[in-house]
Amino acid sequence: MPRKANPQSLPKQPPHKPNNIQFILSQNTSQSNRHPTLATMHLRTPASLTQSLVRAAACALMLFGNLAVFAPVHAQEPAPAAGAEAPTKIEHTLMDRFHEGGWVMYPITACSIALIWLTVDLWMRTSLKKMAPPAAVAQVQDLFRAGDYVGAYQFAKNNPSAFSDVSRVALSFVGDGEEAVDNALFTELNKVNSTITTRINYLSVIGVCTPMIGLTGTVTGMMSAFATLGTSGVGDPSKLSGAIGEVLIATASGLFIAVPAFMFFYFLRNRLQSSMTGLQDVVGALFRKMPYSHLKDAHVGEEEFYAAIPNWVGGDAVPAAA
């Protein structure tokens, strides 16, 4: 006969708990034209996602800097054998590393400050909203629709930006025809592009120079190391280790500044190209269908003309008497 299993001898299985996954959908209650019973998900736009990444990177850099300044770096020897003396702990802070790097740490620090300043400044300058503020674009468009070109010129003059500068210069040539306006737009857009590109190129200069500065510190550190070997030999390892530390820290510091400098150089250059394309589209749409026939020989701007009729020509285009 088959034996009946004892219920108490069987292992107890834990009760199965379903895995409840809740999807939380945030509803946008600020827009009244949405249906109140429909839930909408907030999607991040590329601009907001980029801003979030930049903020996260800035917070990470600040956290790393605080930890590097205030937290000491412990260099501990391996665990000794039984009965041996306890190992000594050597603490090195960021300032200690700075002094160990030698004199090259001062120009490298100056390059790092310039890198941070240029990155923040160029990030703001290459933004399309900075180059063509939406409020200024809308105001100039309204003035163009009303045919108030003088008012548009005055508004662009009193509200400086890349968009205002390009629009103001182009408005000053509307009396000379469409070709003159196109040439003025091309020239002013190139001027804006070259001005910002010159600043971006400084990042490339920093990326090239900082490894060379670190290499100079490497050479001077090796010279100091060989000089130490020549005078005291290998009997004093502390002096030799100090010279070798200067070599390694100087090289690492130069590379630590050069790598992000090149990264920001290419990133900001591409960002500038995208913003310049957007600025060109905005200005081109503004001057499309311009009534040049009604604006012939009109002087919209306030620029002073210095060219005049030659003094040897009379009022009736007859050579004046000597």
Question: Does the structure show a pLDDT above 90 at 227?
Answer: no
Q: Is the residue at 155 inside a domain?
A: yes
CB under 8 Å to 298, separation ≥6 — which residues? 174, 175
Kindly state the average pLDDT of the residues 277-296: 91
Q: Is the residue at 18 inside a domain?
A: no
Q: What is the mean pLDDT of the chain?
A: 74
Kindly state the average pLDDT of the residues 274-296: 91
Kindly state the average pLDDT of the residues 73-89: 48
Q: Tell me: the pLDDT tens digits for 178-198? A: 999 999 999 999 999 999 999
Lowest mean per-residue pLDDT among 57-61, 79-83, 238-242, 286-290: 79-83
What pTM, to 2 d.p., does this model score? Answer: 0.64
> Percent of the chain beyond pLDDT 90?
39
Q: Tell me: the pLDDT tens digits for 126-150? A: 999 999 999 999 999 999 999 999 9
Provide the domain limits for residue 198: 109-207+259-286
Kindly state the average pLDDT of the residues 72-87: 47
Q: What total number of domains does the chain contain?
A: 1
Of 11-25, 144-158, 208-222, which has the strongest mean pLDDT? 144-158
Residue that is written with structure tokens 């160990």 in the block: 100
Q: Is the residue at 163 inside a domain?
A: yes
Spatial separation of the C-alpha atoms in residues 104 and 99, rounded to whole Å: 10
Question: Does the structure show a pLDDT above 80 at 28?
Answer: no
Question: Does the structure show a pLDDT above 80 at 23?
Answer: no
Count other Cβ atoms within 10 Å, centred on residue 206.
22
DSSP 139: H
Question: Does the structure show a pLDDT above 50 at 10?
Answer: no
Q: Is the residue at 229 inside a domain?
A: no
Q: Is the residue at 162 inside a domain?
A: yes
What DSSP line would sit under 160-221, residue for residue?
Answer: -SHHHHHHHHHHTTGGG-HHHHHHHHHHHHHHHHHHHHHHHHHHHHHHHHHHHHHHHHHHHH
Spatial separation of the C-alpha atoms in residues 208 and 225, rounded to whole Å: 26
Q: Is the residue at 179 inside a domain?
A: yes
Q: Is the residue at 201 inside a domain?
A: yes
pLDDT band for 88, please (50, 70, 90 cuts). Answer: low
- What's the confidence (pLDDT) of residue 56? 57
Lowest mean per-residue pLDDT among 8-17, 56-65, 302-311: 8-17
Count other Cβ atoms within 10 Å, centred on residue 33.
4
Q: Is the residue at 314 inside a domain?
A: no
